[in-house]
Structure 1
Amino acid sequence: MTACNIFVLSDQIRVWTDGAAVDTDGHLIHRQQKVGFLPHLNAVVVIRGPALAPPMVELWLGSLHETFDDLVDGLSATLRGLIQDHADKWEVRGAGSAFELLLAGFSESRKTPEVYWIEDSRRLDDIKRRGAISIVPADDVTTRRLTEAFPGMSEKKALRSDDVQLRLMELQRDVRARPNFYDGLPSGGVGAFAQLTTVTRSGISTRIVRRWPDRIGKKLGGAS
């Protein structure tokens, strides 16, 4: 499953994602970016779930809304229509079509950076606004190891630190399989590359920060 870690500052939103598409056994199928760009809305969207869902969700959200505020207000209705008409196109045999969504952008009316989260597309009315830090996936062990790696570091400094945020991706990568949110079975992992996308009031930029030596057809980390 995709890693998506989001750090919200007053002047920017930092979105970290990995680039591994894997099968149900954790083998790398291909590499792909997992951030959907909506520059005319000054926003990005990240989907965790079936590999073919992100481009369709990105297309729908970008085509049917004119501002970020309008997108936030109409998010549930837009996704409901898309899923009703097209979910069969990205459905994975044995895993279904459900996905998790994170939306990040700048509100025009509230003048604030904002992140919204839908944990499960089967519960579209359950939209939560997130705080300064969103770590997905997260667990107590990863959090503890990150704290141990940077003892005494303040949250304010961590929010702007490439080193801390990349280290978090490395720690998430160490966990080879996590349960899917839709069936509880182990799946996926973090790999291929670490990508940092930055959203500011003036635009969006993205870059690859780390490339991992994962190979197509092999499990992430080089295992067979």
Structure 2
Amino acid sequence: MTAINCLVTSDAVHLFTDAGQADPASMRLQAISSKVALLPEYNAVFAANGMTFVEQLFRSVIAQSRFDDFDALVSAFPEVIKRAIESGTHYGMPAVWPNCEIILAGWSPRLDVPAAFVFASYDKFIEKRVKQFIRPSISGLAFDPQDIERSGFALMCKQRDTHFPVEDPNEGGFIKSKSMRRVVHGFCQHTVVTRDAISTRLLERWLDAPE
């Protein structure tokens, strides 16, 4: 589990993400690394939750393909996901990705607007355009369009301080037990995509270390 928060405004897409990579076998913190992949050739970025180190799989598939622009990449992304999943099986990853959500964000040259799309496993990775996306869901805080960076950082801090139910992958039987765990680790990264550029920076580093 991880934090991916997205807000689309009239002139940009904003992503706020953490950096914790969990071992799927134990759900322990395995590594600290950015979860945002930059695609400057399409003026786009993407991030995923639910799986570990999937950014490399997607970057490899995209690098072996060619798309006219961001809009073409969005249209082809379900096939990109399919190929990434197939590629992952060669490295010991499962053939089915449960509870996985992927955000693809960028500037649409066709519409001349910023846009963000969610591709979720529970929706069979069908494209869904969003204006706002907050994971893990949390109450009491929201983006402030007048101060996006401050409110996005506050949202991430609230997510970090909250413990969420996480399924125990080692629990046998048909019913998996869940334990309450912190799921936001590493650092808070703010990434912005505008018509002309991609920018990203760290807002805060947390004293987490792989277990």
Gaps of 5+ in 1: 148-153, 218-224
- 1:172-209 Cα shifts (integer Å, max 9, x gaps): 112233346x9885576001100111111111111111
Partner of residue 213, structure 1: 207
| Distance across 2 between alignment mates of 1:85 and 1:20 | 23
Quick one: which of 171, 175, 179 aligns to 2:162? 175
Partner of residue 137, structure 1: 136
Partner of residue 111, structure 1: 112
Query: Are residues 1:69 and 2:71 paired?
Result: yes
Change in Cα spacing, 1:90 to 1:184, as seen in structure 2 (3 Å) is farther
Please report how far the alpha carbon of residue 88 of structure 1 lies from its aligned counterpart in structure 2 after TM superposition: 4.2
Query: Are residues 1:15 and 2:15 paired?
Result: yes
The amino acid of 1:215's aligned partner reads A
- 1:143-188 Cα shifts (integer Å, max 9, x gaps): 22x26xxxxxx8432xx432211110011112233346x9885576
Where 1:173 maps in the other structure, the secondary structure is helix
The structure richer in helix per residue is: 1
Change in Cα spacing, 1:184 to 1:46, as seen in structure 2 (3 Å) is farther
Please report how far the alpha carbon of residue 27 of structure 1 lies from its aligned counterpart in structure 2 after TM superposition: 3.4
> Over aligned residues, Cα RMSD in angstroms?
2.7
Where 1:201 maps in the other structure, the secondary structure is coil
User: What TM-score do the two structures reach when normalised by structure 2?
Assistant: 0.82
Task: Judge conservation of contact 1:50–1:91 (CA < 8 Å) in 2.
Answer: no
Gaps of 5+ in 2: 170-175
Deviates more, 1:71-80 or 1:24-33: 24-33
Aligned sequence identity (%): 28
The structure richer in strand per residue is: 2
Aligned residues: 200
